[in-house]
Amino acid sequence: MSSMSNLKEKLFSKIELKRKEVKELLKESGDYKLGEVSVAQAYGGMRGIKCMVWEPSALDKNEGIRFRGYTIPELRERLPRAEGGEEPLPEGLFYLLLTADLPTEEDVKEVYNEWMARKETPQHVFDTINGLPPDTHPMTQFSVGILALQKDSVFSTRYHEGMYKEEYWDPQYEDCMNLLGKLPGIAAFIYRRSFKDGTRIHTDENLDWAANYAHMMGIESPEYKELMRLYLTIHADHEGGNASAHTAHLIGSTLSDAYYSLAGGMAALSGPLHGLATQEVLIWIQHLQEKLGGGVPTKKQLVEYVWETLNNGQVIPGYGHAVLRKTDPRYTAQREFALKHLPDDDLFQIVSMLYETVPDILREQGKAKNPWPNVDAHSGCLQWHYGIKDYDYYTVLFGVSRAIGILVSSIWSRALGFPLERPKSVTTDWIKENISANGS
């Protein structure tokens, strides 16, 4: 085992305890049923089937996400902040997700120092990204950049050298920390390459992880740096069943390393029903503004537009959720930020009016199980306000944050020795034959 930092030592002690706990749980209650699977669930995107373990966070359909038991409002109060700042530092959220303990200022500093020590990215990664046409979607560039780092995977090297299964978590941790040190620099480079002059801005060691990301994108507004801290904290994890987390988890279960699984997770995040929704929301709102010649529409115009969208067979972007049945607390956190920093912004006004309008209409239409806004209904208008007007980039911001939860969970999956995932699929004929044989 390589030498251990305080953080790694603490993690190891937690792992030993958890392994014991899970071993006993399996011995005593291995046959306990978590639920049953219906035909509708098999055809319906496996909604609600409890079939995987994800330690860092849990999603309650009414309350929203809890990170290691803490809600977003609690964490905005309790996680350490940057000097003079009011929003939590994502380094602290990482510590919490990894160890299940609230971090001290010192713990946060240690995470930061670990990431900073690993920030240097080999030139070939930038060269690889530069080999793609400049108009390649930023998420493609991001996944390619992550995969270009794979050749230095500590896990893959150690696996091929031969190691005990109990040790898997250690090189996985190294890969994850290396990735988190490098991701903001790669993501910022993609922003500058796709939407600015392509020059790379280097790290400023006086800035925290999130503020540095903003700095490397070329944005120095202190308010945007605050937004970045909040944004990277609240998007970090959303339990394990969402498409990006689940994809990464499945890939990781083959003992593919963290680079492969994170790149796969980012491919899932790129879909319109998942991470792409942020940009769809803005496009949809701005389409309406264009139609009306700019400004803020009236409530009547907004209602007509929402119905027109639905009657054309389209979804209202930013509304609905596969699990949530209330307003997403990540939406609320961003709304509070907007009320504080940009209450008069036109786009924010429209986003607020939609909040007052869309839920009633979706209820009246009667299809969506959840008429309330999700996180993506708000994120875009904040980015736009601070000058990030390149929609295609929004999912990359989401991806940098989501990497935190995905990677933490991958360390725990190794620590608990999770096996290859291999659920059973069935055919329609099999289902019908079973129903006839056993009764409905």
Binding residues for ligand CMX, per CB under 6 A? 242, 273-275, 277, 310, 315-322, 367-370, 374, 376
- Contacts with 74 (C-beta within 8 Å, 6 or more apart), sequence order: none
Q: Centre a 10 Å sphere on the Cβ of residue 290 and count the other Cβ atoms it contains.
A: 9
> How far apart (Å, rounded) are the C-alpha atoms in residues 250 and 406?
11
DSSP string, 341-403: H-TT-HHHHHHHHHHHHHHHHHHHHT--S--SB-THHHHHHHHHHTT---GGGHHHHHHHHHH
AA identity, residue 406: I
The torsion angles phi and psi of 70, rounded to 5 degrees, stand at: -100, 140
User: Which residue of this chain has its Cβ atom nearest to ligand CMX in the complex?
Assistant: 320
Q: How far is CA 387 from the centre of its chain?
A: 22
Q: Would you name the residues annotated as active-site residues?
A: 274, 321, 376
Q: Please return the burial class of 357, using the count of CB atoms within 10 Å of its CB with bins 0-12, 13-18 and 19+.
A: middle
Residue 338 beta carbon to ligand CMX: minimum distance, rounded to whole angstroms: 18
Calculate the CA dihedral of residues 242, 244, 246, 251 and round it to 10 degrees: 170
Q: C-beta of 187: minimal distance to ligand CMX in Å?
A: 18
> Closer to ligand CMX at the Cβ: 180 or 310?
310
Residue with smaller CB distance to ligand CMX, 288 or 415: 288
CA distance 176 to 7: 13
Q: 112 near 204, Cβ under 8 Å? A: no
Helix (H, G, I), strand (E, B) or coil at 176: helix
Which positions ≥6 away from 351 have C-beta within 8 Å?
285, 338, 377, 378, 381
Q: Are 396 and 235 in contact (CB under 8 A)?
A: no
Q: Which residue has the tokens 């005990």?
A: 164
Q: Distance (Å, rounded) from C-alpha 326 to C-alpha 316?
A: 16
Q: Which of residues 171 and 371 has its CB atom nearest to ligand CMX in the complex?
A: 371
First to last CA, the chain: 55
Query: Which CB, 125 or 381, lies closer to ligand CMX?
Result: 381
CB of 14 to ligand CMX, least distance (A): 29
Q: CB of residue 357 vs ligand CMX: minimum separation in angstroms? A: 13
